[in-house]
Amino acid sequence: MAGTRERTAATLADPHLLGLIDAHVCAVPERVRAALRPPATATGVAIIDRLPLQDTELGPTPRDWREAAAWSADPDRRTVSFRLDVTMLLLARCAGEPFGWQGQQSGRLVNNIVPSPGHEHEQSGASSVTLLSPHTEDAFHPDRAHLLLLGCLRNPDAVGTTVSSVCEARLSSAHRRRLAETALPILPDVSYGEGFDDHPATPIATLAAGPTLRYDPAYTPLDRADAEFRGAYAQLSAELERVAHAAVLEPGQLLLVDNDVVVHGRVPFAPRYDGTDRWLKRVNIRLPQRSRAESGESGYGQRTVAPFRTEAAVPQAVPHQ
């Protein structure tokens, strides 16, 4: 059974399936592909309606991403969850180049976001009772996603995903100048594990031209900065809070986020761990036509799993979906 499960678990990253996804992108209706273009509004987000889902088809909400992966790999338990993985991968491919991280959820191209016992208070997607602070996804890494695609499977408590765009923030010229300086590093979040001391923590710019925002206060050592920089950072935080919106996703809805200008988080909620909790799926998307002026960073040794990437010379980890 273990061998069978392992072979089935690789299905989503199987070269044949990935080839089929590429082959079928052109068959996706133009109105759908248009909806998956980078949001052109100042908010930097778009809600896309709606994938057909029946709650009774989903099975119980898994207790963590490992359980979700095991259930999808088990032919006796596989539900609409796996079919939604394939659908989200196809939709993400319409937008750009879907990818995963070797150090996060074992390199899977589609991540499951569920509340997990023992992680209630941490700053990660597995938390629940604490506020998940607004942040740029994977702000620590120069190869982070340009777009995020979040798909809602279940949200019975109407838990809000918070979004804020720096394009709507009001910042003084002095604050913008300070935030453009390479002042502080950003560390990887707990979903990547520990042991990053062997890699240099390179200071980065919080707000670069473009604009390009890299913001993750929970993993930024602000106590190392001078008072003026902390003041500029505090004003940025206040502005992002002022312009925040809450997106309460319903089953089947998709949220497309421009990760270069938008920070996202989540309001607190009380998990039940009874199979009915909130359940999202996430895909990271790279836009080959959009470049960033970032170089010389270690990325703390984290490598992308990017089977769709067009630059063949870039070494990639092997996907484990």
User: Exposure pattern of 111-143 as b/e (b: 16+ CB <10 Å)?
Assistant: bbbbbbeebeebbebbbbeeebbbbbbbbbbbb
Q: According to the model, what pLDDT value does residue 113 have?
A: 98
**284 vs 295, residue with greater confidence:** 284
Q: According to the model, what pLDDT value does residue 248 have?
A: 98
Lowest mean pLDDT among 49-53, 186-190, 246-250, 294-298: 294-298
CATH code where residue 152 lies: 3.60.130.10
177: Cβ contacts below 8 Å, ≥ 6 apart: none
3-state secondary structure of 215: coil
DSSP for 137-193?
TTTT-TT--SEEEEEEEE-TT-PPEEEEEGGG----HHHHHHHTSEEE--PPPGGG-
Residue 277 counted as domain residue: yes
Residue 160 counted as domain residue: yes
Q: What is the mean pLDDT of the chain?
A: 91
* Cα first-last separation, the chain: 18
Predicted confidence (pLDDT) at residue 8 exceeds the cutoff of 90: no
Q: Vertex 147, ends 288 and 109: CA angle to 5°? A: 85
Burial (CB count <10 Å: 0-12, 13-18, 19+), residue 260: buried
Q: Which domain holds residue 227?
A: 2-305
For 30-87, how does the pLDDT look when each residue is reduced to its tens digit (9 = 90+)? Answer: 999 999 999 999 999 999 999 999 999 899 999 999 999 888 777 776 678 888 999 9
Residue 12: pLDDT band (50, 70, 90) is confident
Q: According to the model, what pLDDT value does residue 100 have?
A: 96
Residue 57 counted as domain residue: yes
Q: According to the model, what pLDDT value does residue 227 have?
A: 97
Determine the Cα–Cα distance for residues 260 and 284; give it in Å rounded to an integer. Answer: 12
Of the chain, the percentage scoring pLDDT greater than 70 comes to: 92
What's the pTM value of the predicted model, to 2 decimals? 0.92
For 228-276, how does the pLDDT look when each residue is reduced to its tens digit (9 = 90+)? Answer: 999 999 999 999 999 999 999 999 999 999 999 999 999 999 999 999 9
Structural domain count of the chain: 1
Q: According to the model, what pLDDT value does residue 2 have?
A: 34
Residue 317 counted as domain residue: no
213: Cβ contacts below 8 Å, ≥ 6 apart: 136, 166, 206, 207, 260, 261, 262, 263
**311 vs 62, residue with greater confidence:** 62
For 203-228, how does the pLDDT look when each residue is reduced to its tens digit (9 = 90+)? Answer: 999 999 999 999 999 999 999 999 99
Residue 315 counted as domain residue: no
Q: According to the model, what pLDDT value does residue 4 have?
A: 33
**72 vs 21, residue with greater confidence:** 21
Residue 103 counted as domain residue: yes
**CA quadruple 85, 187, 207, 134: dihedral positive or negative?**
positive
Nearest to 141 by CA among 109, 89, 189, 181: 189
Determine the Cα–Cα distance for residues 35 and 30; give it in Å rounded to an integer. Answer: 9
For 120-148, how does the pLDDT look when each residue is reduced to its tens digit (9 = 90+)? Answer: 999 999 999 999 999 999 999 999 999 99
Residue 15 counted as domain residue: yes
Stretch 291-296: mean pLDDT:
86
Residue 145 counted as domain residue: yes
**CA quadruple 145, 148, 153, 156: dihedral positive or negative?**
positive
